[in-house]
Amino acid sequence: MPLPQLIEEDLRVLDDALATLLARCEASMAMLIDQAGFLITQAGEVDQFDTTTLAALSAGSYAATQGMASITRETTFNSVYQQGEKHSLLIVNVDESCLIVVVFRASVGVGVVKYHTLAAASTARLQLQVARQRTPTASLDLAAMNLEDSCSFFRRKVNTT
């Protein structure tokens, strides 16, 4: 299921859900990501972590877990939890397109984080449904995209061999 077209109202609701999650369980950072690894929105101490890479790795980790679920004849493992010494990480499924990733101090119990993350996931799921129903086939007009010098989107540095 592809991610629906999100407008500012959607992002505001999703951001609020993440902010509420952080406030209630004192997590360090939370983000909503696409299951292909794209970062959709984030909240908290995002400067402390490389969130782009964390999103890609979290999506990969969750996808691998689904493979394990299939092999063990489970329908799904709907979360992934990693406990660390300083920080722990929880990945929770939102729907077929999205995941919530939460980083929290290791001293915080995973139970409370999971409880509030599931609530945030529920809010996000509902808002994504709203977005899908609003404009099921919508796509952004990309005519504003100016492909200047389109031969070289990426250029090689001059003084390299």
Partner 1 sequence: MAIINQATKELQVKIVYYGPALCGKTTNLVQVHDHVQAAEGQKGKLVSLATSSDRTLFFDFLPIEAMSIKGFRTKFQLYTVPGQVIYNTTRQLVLRGVDGLVFVADSQYDKMQENVKSFQNLEENLRTLDLNLADIPYVLQYNKRDLPNVAPVDYLEFLLNNREVQVPSFTASAHKCEGVFETLNMITRMLLHKFINESQRKAA
Which amino acid is present at 153?
A: F
Q: Is 149 helix (H, G, I), strand (E, B) or coil?
A: coil
Q: Does 36 bind partner 1 (CB under 8 A)?
A: yes
In DSSP notation, 94-145 reads -SSSEEEEEEEETTS-HHHHHHHHHHHHHHHHHHHHHHHHH-TT----GGG-
We find the least distance from the C-beta atom of residue 140 to partner 1, in angstroms, to be: 5
- Binding segment toward partner 1, per CB under 8 A, in 8-16, 23-31, 80-88, 101-109: 8-16
Residue 130, interface with partner 1 (CB under 8 A)?
Answer: no
- 30: closest CA among 42, 40, 38, 39? 42
Among 47, 73, 86, 144, binds partner 1 (CB under 8 A): 144
> Which token pair is 84?
């660390």
Strand partners, 104: 88
Single residue of 31, 40, 101, 113 touching partner 1 by CB under 8 A? 40
Closer residue to partner 1 in complex, CB, 85/149: 149
Where does this chain bind partner 1 (CB under 8 A)? Answer: 2-3, 5-8, 10-11, 34-40, 50, 52-53, 56-57, 60, 63-64, 67, 137-157, 160-161
